[in-house]
Amino acid sequence: MKIPARTAILLGFTLAILTSGPGASAQGSMTGVRAMGMADAFTAAATGSGALFHNPAGVSALMMYSVEASYLYDQQTGLSSLHASIVDGKSNQSLGGGIGYTYSVSSSRASLPSFSGHDVYGALSMPVIPGWLIAGVAIHYLDYAQADQDIADGITLDTGIMVSLGRFLAIGAAVKNLVEVENSGQGLDAGFGLNLHTTFFQLATDTIVHFDCEEDACLDFRVGAEYLAPFKIPIRIGYQYQTHPSSQQISAGAGWRHDLFGLDLLFRQDIEQGDNRMLGMAINLYL
Q: What are the tens digits of pLDDT across the range 144-188?
A: 999 989 999 999 999 999 999 999 999 999 999 999 998 877 689
Q: What are the tens digits of pLDDT across the range 191-228?
A: 999 999 999 999 999 999 999 887 777 899 999 999 99
What does the pLDDT average to over 94-100? Answer: 97
**What is the CATH topology of the domain spanning 5-286?**
Porin (2.40.160)
CA 265 to chain centre: 16
Given a cut of 70, is residue 3 above it in pLDDT?
Answer: no
CA 60 to chain centre: 15
Q: For residue 189, which of 200, 205, 173, 171 has the smallest C-alpha distance?
A: 173
Residue 170 is predicted with a pLDDT of 98
Given a cut of 70, is residue 5 above it in pLDDT?
Answer: no
Q: Residue 16 gets which letter from DSSP? A: H
Residue 28 is predicted with a pLDDT of 52
Query: Is the alpha carbon torsion for 279, 206, 34, 230 positive or negative?
Result: negative
- Of 11-15, 40-44, 65-69, 154-158, the poorest mean pLDDT is in 11-15
Given a cut of 70, is residue 77 above it in pLDDT?
Answer: yes
